[in-house]
Amino acid sequence: MTSSTYFGTEGQHSTRVERTYLLVSSNSPVEAWAAMLRAPSAPDLCVRSPSPEAQRAADAAFGGRYVPTILEPLLARRGSAESLGDFMWRTADALRTLYAFATRTALVVFDELPLADGALRLEEHDLLRFADELERAAPAA
């Protein structure tokens, strides 16, 4: 697990644990399970698309073990009437939503993730950077 050391406003020394997000595709339950094995700690939260594929990938990753799960429609596959730019903006919103959750390690199951192939492991600062990158790369409507 990665940790950062910093001084608070009162000059007191403290240690803060950096959060980790494991982003995996719903198309590959095996990759979801493999991402879990590479995690710095067992995920304490699963955030997934509401699709049946995402449920299967999450079930494979956790192997029947209970983990609090949030169904997030922003993680769903691009809609047929949705522009690529709107899809990328929606995905960036989903990443920023993840940042708000109180978690140490989260498994995040996407149906489709722009600008990425396979699984990604992002620390909290990388998560916001990736959201910004998606917005910059989104084509204008």
- What are the pLDDT digits (tens) for 98-108? 999 989 999 99
Residues 33/23, Cβ–Cβ less than 8 Å:
no
| Cα→Cα distances 62→48, 65, 110, 122, Å | 13, 5, 16, 19
Specify which of 33-37, 45-49, 116-120 reaches the highest per-range mean pLDDT: 45-49
Which pTM value belongs to this model? 0.82
Structure tokens at 39: 């995690």
